[in-house]
A and B are shown apart, each in its own frame.
Chain A
Amino acid sequence: MSKNKSLTDILKVALVGNPNSGKSTLFNALTGMNQRTGNFPGVTVDKKTGRAKVRDRQGNFVREIEFIDLPGTYSLYPKSLDEKVSFEVLCDTKNEDYPDVTVVVADASNIKRNLFLVTQLIELRRPVVLVLNMVDVMEKRGTRINREKLSGLLGIPVVYANARKKIGVQELNKILAGEIPLSDKLFFALVPEKELLNSVNEIVPVSTSYAAWQLLCNYDHYTSLDPAIKSRIKKIVSEHRFDETAFQANESVMRFAEIGRIVDASVEVLDNEGETRTKKIDRVLTHPVWGYVIFLGVLFTLFQAIFFLAAFPMKWIESLFMHFSHWSSVHLPPGELSALLVNGILAGLSGVVVFVPQIALLFAFIAILEDTGYMARVSFIMDKLMRKFGLNGKSVIPLISGVACAVPAIMSTRTISNWKERMITILVTPLMSCSARLPVYTLLISLVIPSDQKFIFFNMQGFALMAMYLIGFMAALFSAWIMKFILKAREKSYFIMELPVYRAPKWSSVFYTIYEKVRVFLFDAGKVIIAISVILWVLSSHAPGKRFERIDRKYESMSKALPQKELETVKEAEKLENSYAGIIGKAIEPAIRPLGYDWKIGISLITSFAAREVFVGTMATIYSVGDKENTRSIREKMMDEKDPATGKPVYTLAVGLSLMLFYAFAMQCMSTLAVVYRETKKWKWPVIQFLYMGVLAYLSSFIVYQLLK
């Protein structure tokens, strides 16, 4: 506990550590379900906080702690956006999350590298506690750590933990609730340039000389620092010819020399069994042939899961909502409000919830792949290939998942730490042919490509479908390659990363990941999706003036001449034609004529924005097909459709291919746009994505139609 805080205040504790140190598992063990995810101001890094009440042995409340889980970092010299967030929280005293106590989680099997950050934090002269994770596993494998000696040499409390088994949680809480001694140890001894440090201290009063060194090296990274003060520090740096790179290099070398002495005195390595096991597994998983075969197998399983396995719960959700909206339309009094509730809000809600199975399954997979250490190997074997297109080894999983659905795929780009590579992955993933395009392709292919035609031995329709998937994939890679030259890099692309030791997955952290992703999607992206769904409903169910009343009256007088059901479907078609959506569809006709589309297709393009497969349903309504599930009858109607001016069929090969290309490339999915907004925290990116994909779709459809017509 820091001195100037009373026991009634909430103690702010930051959890930091190297990536793969088990920090998040400890965070889950400490806070349980009392977690919240927010944002660090101005960046897309998730901020996880959680509270815990510390009680003594009698069960009396001692004090409340707020834990904040900081992104993994190796040092206090930030090199990525994630690391910059951790740096600011730990070093900038004006940061809103500046902690009272810092807990460093270190993987006991990697003690040397982990102690680097620990010793840096100690020299900031703030309370630090070291949690050595997985010590029990290390000891079983023959490494002995002398805790008293280590704690004495560092001058801070050391806790042994196994976050997976919740060992050490109680002890850590006890230490945090009490007084934490400040260490006075020094781990590097650069000749202090008194004058230089004094002049920094004059501008920004800092408590320790290491904090002053930090300011000199990193002043640009302090968001709270006034630009005027930054330029004054910059002046001092250049006046004294302070070379921060050389300083940091020297500091690192000296620090590691000291750490080496500390580790030699307190750690005894007898055997290292975990490493040999990892080596054996790696021999297969990164093998030139088997490595890719196994990776393909993993992708295949993942693909099956999100494509086929998720289809069952998705069907249940859809039918549940269908029953519910049917029930509502029967039991609610007819009127505008009920219609809004059933066709606007309920439909939007169903459109949100239906994604949950896919998101849950994909993230279960990703959590397992990350947890076991396999994801790092995927990056390792795919990096060279993906790098050519401005992507990263880790872009493979989002891209492949995009074939099922771009929504969970884009959410999974979080694992890509490089900003530029992540942005490119987000921007191109929706070009992969998702499952919502499948019904559209199926309908159009059956419409314009004869089923008896063969290409060599293959069924021409099947070949066309495969070609559509291939075109999507090529377009994604090609766009990525173009963006590689357009997007400016914010940080250097490194591939300097740890290949962690293989471990069994931790099921509770898999569960936390699923819970977290589903929650974020439902509440953040869900809002936007429901809003757009309501707008689309208004557009397609309302008309200016008294158009609908006139249609109602017209059909009332006809009601005796025709069977009721047939009449309804014809009436519905006429209403859609006269609605705002129909008016917009007609208004954009001049713009889509060059692509071969009439106003009826125009309406479908607009309603498809809810989800691409809505195309089929809209076509059914426009062509007054009573049974909307019946693709064959929709197809027959569309085949019979003639251009009123020329008398020729509307759906020619040229129109069909042009329309398929449009659906392959255009950004017609509000859910994806909502998720891109949520993942980038800016409207700029979904807008750019909408525009570039729109231009790509328009141009390619235009060219194909004009060439083939």
Chain B
Amino acid sequence: MHQFPYNLSELKIGDIAIIDSFTDPVMSLKLLEMGCIPGERVELVKVAPMGDPIAIHVAGYLLSLRKAEASTVLIHQIRA
């Protein structure tokens, strides 16, 4: 079982979550300006065929990021 909070890299396709906070301050700046704001709803839309990177739907568009980058985004899940 998962320990709360999840991070973004642990979502499965179709999971919807809310962004809580970030663990990497420098990485967070890039994510913030791309619209990944705490409180924003994200959906995991796609995982690349080799398992990495992933693509999320956020702020009205599709954003791709590597798993290592996604693991710095803490979330709480609202729907699987």
Contacts and interface: CB of A to CB of B under 8 A. Distances in A.
A279 B45 contact: yes
Given A109-B61, A279-B45, A286-B48, 8 more contacts: A116-B33, A253-B38, A257-B37, A286-B49, A292-B49, A384-B53, A497-B64, A500-B61
B29 A383 contact: no
27 contacts: A74-B34, A79-B29, A110-B61, A116-B35, A245-B25, A245-B26, A249-B22, A256-B35, A278-B62, A282-B46, A286-B49, A287-B49, A288-B49, A380-B46, A380-B48, A381-B48, A381-B49, A383-B53, A384-B50, A494-B30, A495-B69, A496-B63, A496-B65, A498-B34, A498-B63, A499-B55, A499-B61
Q: Is the interface of A mostly helix, strand, loop or mixed?
A: helix
Interface in A40-79: 74-75, 77, 79
Nearest to B66: A495
Interface residues of A, number: 42
A282 B45 CA distance: 10
A-B complex: 8 closest residue pairs judged by Cβ atoms: A252-B32, A288-B49, A499-B62, A384-B50, A75-B33, A495-B66, A113-B35, A245-B25
Nearest to B38: A253
A116 B49 CA distance: 32
Interface string A611-640: 000000000000000000000000000000
Nearest to B62: A499
A257 B30 CA distance: 17
Contacts of A381: 48-50
A492 B63 CA distance: 18
A381 B63 CA distance: 14
Q: Is the interface of B mostly helix, strand, loop or mixed?
A: mixed
Contacts of B61: 109-110, 113, 498-501
Given A380-B48, A495-B53, A109 B32 contact: no
A354 B38 CA distance: 55
A128 B58 CA distance: 27
Nearest to B50: A384
A530 B30 CA distance: 45
Nearest to A77: B29
Contacts of A249: 22, 25, 28-29, 32
Nearest to B63: A498
A277 to B, nearest CB: 12
A246 interface: yes
Interface string A86-122: 0000000000000000000000011111001000000
Interface in B13-72: 22, 25-26, 28-35, 37-38, 45-46, 48-53, 55, 59-66, 69
A75 B31 CA distance: 11
A496 B30 contact: yes
Contacts of B66: 383, 495
B31 A245 contact: no
Given A246-B25, A249-B28, A495-B69, A109 B60 contact: yes
B8 to A, nearest CB: 12
A376 interface: yes
A108 B8 CA distance: 27
A499 B64 contact: yes
Given A74-B34, A495-B66, A245 B29 contact: yes
Contacts of A498: 34, 61-64
Contacts of B48: 286, 380-381, 383-384
A385 interface: yes
B66 to A, nearest CB: 4
Given A286-B49, A495-B64, A498-B61, A253 B31 contact: no
Interface in A645-699: none
Interface in A249-290: 249, 252-253, 256-257, 278-279, 282, 286-289
A292 B31 CA distance: 29
A292 B69 CA distance: 24
B69 A494 contact: yes
Nearest to A282: B46
Contacts of B52: 383-384
Centre residue among A77, A245, A495, A496 by max chain B CB count within 10 A: A496
